[in-house]
Amino acid sequence: MPLRDFVRTRCPSLLKEYRPSRLLFNGHLQTAYGAYGDFSTVDKVVYDRKLIRLMDGGTLSLDFTPPDDERRLPDDTPIVVTFHGLTGGSNEAYIRSIIVPATAPREEGGLGYRAVVVNFRGCAGTPVTSEQLYHCGNTDDARQALMYIAKRYPRARLIGLGFSLGANVLIRYLAQEGDESRLVAGCALGCPWDLQSVSYKLSNGAWIDRMYSRTLAHNMATLIKRNVDKLANNPKLSEALPYLLALPAPTLWDFDTYYAYEEKALANRTFESPGDFYRWASSHYVLSDVRVPLLAINADDDPIVRDLPTDVGGNPLVSLVVTRGGGHLGWFASEKEGVVMRRRRTRWVKQPVLEWLRAVGEELAVDLPRGRGLCANGEFTTEFGRTDLGYKELEGGGKFRGETLRIEGMVSGF
């Protein structure tokens, strides 16, 4: 069955009109509400955090739900592997709004799945233990996290779910791995796609565009300042950090001029400019290489994402849905609640994503396990033929409530 028909029949909510909440009638209001609204009383979730050390010395935290000691699930239960936005994490309301119903028991109307949020270096309380953080083009951390998850649950289908920057990472991983992907399918929400276009237009547009750019750059600068002692050990970054931290109100373009583009130049490629780096890091240009079903959803009034790959790279395995309204990771709608008919705001996008997760988690014909074989390399677990990447599990972590995790100095929702 063609993917277009598969999406139409398995995700019927996508065929219904999305009607934004009347008070959040444009993309700016939708985005602002996602960033500043109070979501501490909804979508409550308990995570069990696992820490893994990577071969370059970095650390990732993987937050699983439900914890095994609270609800034991079969080993072949599908797992939603989630990648957050720019400086987000498992505490983000946009993540909880989907993984809570995805992991709720079937008898309570949920999918009964397992979920794990991959928190990037320094995010959601993850310690920074190396001289590098992460950036929009880095897929190796996602790759190593998937190695750990696949080793822990070899019989489970792994389904990728990415938000904003995490969606870009997810799509690039799928394109790079091709038929070797450990993920059987993917879902990308609010993907920025053409990163050069996003950064340039936000940094050089109207005042409100520059406000978004400075908010995103502020979040990253805050993360860097908290870990500057570790990052200063990176010889290339040690030259760039003083300039970056001295800027009174850096934009996203400033940030990548001084940070991501410089940091990546240490690896196997040197970039001539931030634009060159952005083109390399964008998921916009790699869709033709994706080899598993991928559903992407964007809003036509997203104030951050402007240019969409409407041709989906000519790939029949990719479906792009563009809604009228929704902002950046918002998609808030109103629904009536209780006998007094009080209205509450819910995220419309939750329903089509759950329909997609159910379809690819239960109907897709796949062979397991997927990806390259795993092997021991000293105290690390690596892949056959790729011994430069690997992980080992650390002590620590443990259970915590996702809705109570607060990261001071950061603007949520991105």
For residue 117, tell me if it sits in a domain. yes
State the average pLDDT over residues 370-379: 93
Average pLDDT of every residue of the chain: 91
Residue 342 pLDDT: 47
For residue 411, tell me if it sits in a domain. no
For residue 134, tell me if it sits in a domain. yes
Cβ(297)–Cβ(275) below 8 Å: no
Strand partners, 159: 80, 185
SS3 13: helix
Percentage of the chain exceeding pLDDT 90: 71
For residue 409, tell me if it sits in a domain. no
Residue type, 142: A
Query: Does the annotation mark 68 as catalytic?
Result: no
List Cα–Cα distances, 310 to 5, 166, 297, 313, 347, in angstroms.
17, 20, 11, 8, 24
The reply to whether 127 and 39 lie within a common domain is yes
- Looking at 280, 314, 333, the residue that finishes a domain is 280
Residue 252 pLDDT: 83
Query: In which domain, by residue range, is 185 found?
Result: 3-194+282-403
Is pLDDT above 60 for 341?
A: no
The reply to whether 385 and 343 lie within a common domain is yes
The reply to whether 385 and 313 lie within a common domain is yes
Residue in 43, 63, 302, 412 annotated catalytic: 302
Residue 141 pLDDT: 96
pTM: 0.94
Residue in 43, 254, 328, 412 annotated catalytic: 328
The reply to whether 45 and 21 lie within a common domain is yes
The reply to whether 216 and 288 lie within a common domain is no
DSSP H helices, 178-206, are 195-204
Residue 266 pLDDT: 46
Give the pLDDT confidence of 198-255 residue by residue, as tens digits: 988 998 889 899 999 999 988 988 888 898 888 888 877 777 788 878 888 888 888 7
Percentage of the chain exceeding pLDDT 70: 94
Residue 244 pLDDT: 79
Give the pLDDT confidence of 323-338 residue by residue, as tens digits: 999 999 999 998 755 4
- Count of structural domains, the chain: 2
Is pLDDT above 70 for 261?
A: no
Out of 22-31, 241-250, 379-388, which region has the weakest mean confidence (pLDDT)?
241-250
For residue 43, tell me if it sits in a domain. yes
The reply to whether 273 and 293 lie within a common domain is no
- Up-side HSE of residue 335: CA atoms within 13 Å toward CB? 8
For residue 408, tell me if it sits in a domain. no
List Cα–Cα distances, 315 to 164, 225, 268, 344, 364, in angstroms.
21, 41, 29, 38, 18
- Looking at 252, 280, 308, the residue that finishes a domain is 280
Burial of 23 (0-12, 13-18, 19+ CB in 10 A): exposed
For residue 410, tell me if it sits in a domain. no
The reply to whether 132 and 184 lie within a common domain is yes
Query: Long-range contacts for 370-379 (Cβ within 8 Å, ≥24 apart)?
Result: 370/150, 370/158, 370/180, 370/181, 370/182, 370/183, 370/184, 371/146, 371/147, 371/150, 371/177, 371/180, 371/181, 371/182, 372/180, 374/147, 374/150, 374/151
The reply to whether 325 and 275 lie within a common domain is no
CATH code (residue 137): 3.40.50.1820
Is pLDDT above 60 for 265?
A: no
For residue 414, tell me if it sits in a domain. no
Residue 298 pLDDT: 98
Residue 365 pLDDT: 86
Residue in 61, 97, 164, 319 annotated catalytic: 164
- Looking at 250, 280, 310, the residue that finishes a domain is 280
Query: Does the annotation mark 164 as catalytic?
Result: yes
Angle value at C-alpha 11, between 7 and 12, nearest 5 degrees: 115
Strand partners, 202: none
SS3 299: strand
The reply to whether 111 and 148 lie within a common domain is yes
Residue 174 pLDDT: 98
d(CA 36, CA 27): 14
The candidate with the shortest Cα–Cα distance to 136, out of 282, 249, 244, 9, is 282
The reply to whether 338 and 322 lie within a common domain is yes
State the average pLDDT over residues 275-302: 94
Query: Does the annotation mark 97 as catalytic?
Result: no
Distance of CA 75 to the CA centre of its chain: 24
The reply to whether 212 and 189 lie within a common domain is no
Residue 343 pLDDT: 58
The reply to whether 85 and 160 lie within a common domain is yes
